[in-house]
Amino acid sequence: MQYRKKIKHFRRIVIKVGTSLLTEKGNIRKGFLKELVHQIKWLRDRGIEVVLVTSGAIGLGLNELGLKKRPGKLPVEQAAASIGQSLLMEMYHNLFRKAGISVGQVLLTQDDFRNRQRYLNAANTLYTLLDLKVIPIINENDAVAVDELHYGNKFGDNDILAALLTNLLRAELLIILTDVEGLYKNADKGEVIQEVTKITPEIERVALGTKKDTSRGGMSSKVTAARLVTEGSSAMVIASGLRKKVLLKVVEGENIGTLFIPSSKKISKSIIDDFMNNKK
């Protein structure tokens, strides 16, 4: 548990928030969103740079269209993403403005990581936003990205996007907020694995997928994200966004959620390339 003491000294953090936290029956959880912004302001006031990766656009869009679950038709989901993204950013903009913080929207696809020039352009934009004290709010560009099962230029889940951004920005920590307490060793008994020093086949076996109608990924994608992050010499924490002041507690080094400790061997570019190529 000694590694958690280092977290309070980190100065750049990526935070990923899932659909299950942001929305309920297609509607934004305004109370959660206000508390999230309040906590991020607290981090900023401590001199920590924050990058926010947000889901929720498709869920909001589906609700606006009167659909209760994903229709399974790509054009409809892309239309829902287009509708929901504007609604989502309007809410973020208004709340952060009240907190005295400027935000900037950045929408990305896997092609932005595969193509070297686009990769550098994305990095330059994000670093400039941070230099200007603006919080980048990032989502996958679902309105134009195509079905990963057929074409392979979707991340499949914002967990992977957040992991790749953590490496790109050389952030020291990725915090993935979800609706469970962490990676469960035994979900029936509520036993959370507190610390992972190496992602083994056993760790991969206990990671389960999700069956939620408006979500993708699940714990398996979070473990994949952890592999990318830790092999990039950064740490990652999976924690419950429903826990009061969760971000503050993670940054203070409290023993909550599941901590993935960085590998002693730094990631090579070929590892990222192999991962991206295998997604094709």
Q: For residue range 32-90, list pLDDT tens digits in order.
A: 999 999 999 999 999 999 999 998 888 888 889 988 777 778 888 889 889 999 999 99
Query: Quick one: pLDDT band at residue 155, thresholds 50, 70, 90?
Result: low
Look up the domain containing 208 and give its range: 2-278
Tell me which residue of 156, 163, 161 sits closest to 227, measured CA to CA. Answer: 163
Collect all residues with Cβ–Cβ distance below 8 Å to 190 and sequence separation of at least 6.
Answer: 181, 184
pLDDT tens for 93-135 read 999 999 999 999 999 988 898 899 999 999 999 999 999 999 9
Number of structural domains found in the chain: 1
Q: Identify which of 202, 256, 267, 255 has the alpha carbon closest to the alpha carbon of residue 229.
A: 267
Give me 82's structure tokens: 């287009």
Residues 85 and 137: beta-carbon distance below 8 Å = no
The enclosing domain of 246 has a CATH number of 3.40.1160.10
Q: What percent of the chain has pLDDT over 70?
A: 86
Give residues with Cβ within 8 angstroms of 209, minimum separation 6.
217, 218, 219, 220
pTM above 0.85, yes or no: yes
pLDDT > 70? residue 270:
no
Instruction: Please report, for residues 4, 135, 183, the alpha-carbon distance to residue 10 in angstroms, rounded to integers and kept in the order given.
Output: 11, 17, 23
pLDDT one-digit tens code per residue, 187-228: 777 889 999 999 998 898 888 644 444 444 588 899 999 999
